[in-house]
Chain A
Amino acid sequence: MFEEEDLLPISALSQLLYCERRAALIYVEGLWNENLYTAEGHHLHDRAHLSDSEVRGVLRIVRGLYLRSLRLGLTGKADVVEFHRLREDMQNGTRIEGVSGFWRPFPVEYKRGRLRHEREYEVQLCAQALCLEEMLSVNISSGALYYGKTARRLKVAFDDNLRRETEEAARSLHDLCRKGETPRARYEKKCNKCSMRDLCMPKTTGVKRNVMRYLNRIVESDSGEES
């Protein structure tokens, strides 16, 4: 069990699965800091404008719910959690304060772009489900990724494999942050699209370059010109 102050953001899981070094640069090196304030701005903005719920008969749509899991050591916020009203079935449902009946939570995570299968997004969504399960003592079998550009939903089942992967990712994330070491860069094609590229310098730091040799080369070329 984790203490509250040791919780790490759920969104870090998808960073970690995308690239361990990227996650370390952000969460160990604090290199996102410059943007933290803007992020906090958005955060407040979200809370002010989106923390509301909408009721459509048997469906309640709640935005901006705070989530956490002390078991996995995660914290975060769900874009949308839908609560589907159940008929008499308290086995798979949860109570909602001030509302009658039993409800089944169904997390929905918003992603930019068009529909695509990305394991790291599925893990991120699953982590939200695990938080909801822990907080509401309920079992959640599925959720969805919503792709804004094409307005399409991808349903995600929280099967044993995905759950195991999510728990493993949470463990590696905590290991990474505890060790405080940043993994060495490995230049790949995906680096070209990565927003952390300038800070990571994969082409410079990835290959073990010999700085002493670089300096000696300078000295030799300078003194070579003289003779």
Chain B
Amino acid sequence: MKGIRMKRIGTALAAIVMIGSGLVSAGAATLRVGIQDDPDALDPALSGTYTGRFVFAALCDKLVDISPDLKIVPQLAESWDWAADGKSITFTLRKNVTFHDGTAFDAAAVKFNIERMKTMPDSKRKAELAPIVSVEALAADKVKFTLSEPFVPLLANLSDRAGMMVSPKAATEKAGELAAAPVCAGPYQFVERKSRDLIRVKKYPGYWNAGAVGYDEVVYYYVPDSTVRLSRVRAGDLELAERVAPTDLKTVRDDPNLTLHSGQGLAVSHLMFNVGAGAKADTPLGKNATLRQAFELAIDRNVINRVAFNGEFLADNQMIPPSSPFYDSAHKAPARDVAKAKALIAAAGMTRVPVELQYENAAGDSRVAQIMQSMAAEAGFDVKLLPMETTTAIERYLNGNFEAYIGNWSGRADPDPTLVAFFSCAGSQNVNKYCNKDLDAILTQARGEADEAKRKALYAKATDIYLSALSSIPLYHPNWFFAARKSVGGIVMVPDGLLRLVGVKPVN
């Protein structure tokens, strides 16, 4: 009797396991990807999130792309020619490219897209495309952009959402719905989106490089917790998880079924000081660059990296990451020197220096703030921590309502958008109101300089200036970590951290 019952229980369990494993192995040519955030509007003109860009990598090809070593490479444009004065650029477009609705991609479509992104009232691409004065379709496969000034970083801008092309037909006829159901010219076409759940895309048979597309379908699942995301890859019900937490990397490395894909990123986390925005700039650190240098000497970036991120990120003192060809290796990060920091504080006529440190109340920033607080205290800084809920923190940041702030910038393929944003007098992120006319002149000169070596020298000068003023102390660059099952082949890490699907295919 007992034996029969046990047998029944066993059969039932086996049935559950079978149905369960059916769930696990569903769809052989489907790539299931765990993403950390739910993307915002899926329209390249409106999108403002990293996860949005991550999904766009499947849907929307761009005029140009970046390579792993941050070179500009062709995508929808096969080649380009700068005018001698740097004030116009002509693109030769790839032929026989169609959008997912079957309409043709041509010069007229490029003109439509650039004008759309420049004129749509809530377009977030206006600043990136600002130097473009007009777009002219010279032939079906030739399009010319006329610029207001020589602007070399334009190509880097076009390697992101500003260069993504949507179908003019869809954007005109279904203007209100495009953000919910994008129509682009990428390797995969949009199928469905369930808000805060999944985004499903399927292979577009008319893609110009369809032979290199390895999966029939890709589903992006929204799995906010990084440990859970990884667990789901380990359990086999996802093939890939993006942004694995540094603390979980050992688990990935130890799992024989998984491969860790890592790469240097473009992002930077830095400590901004309010040096000129209203009353909060009126602090010892806000007024005195020597004290800011003392603060830099009081902290150890390597310790921050080791304690907060298991040493998996890149401790560094520059806004531009070492992955960039414009990184200035002559400006090494200074080693921690508490005695020298104390001496600088004494030279400024002080013994204890108060500072209020504001940051978004997320795990990473909180740990960094606490570590800095304890290290800086040894040199004579009394750091008061002020954690804030994200939206509130952003509002205060934009209004310059802070003494010191841990800023996280996603970075760009070209140094210009980062350095101009933070350090030019009218920069969009210059909320701490740092202003140096010499630096402004150098940055303006660099954006018009076509010669890479000369440009690099200009950015080295710029680095020298901003690292002396230290209106901002760069702390570290996060790296990208994807955990993927061994069955996924062809993943190439690019510093922008996006999963490019062309070339990614199942392997046995």
Do A and B actually bind? no
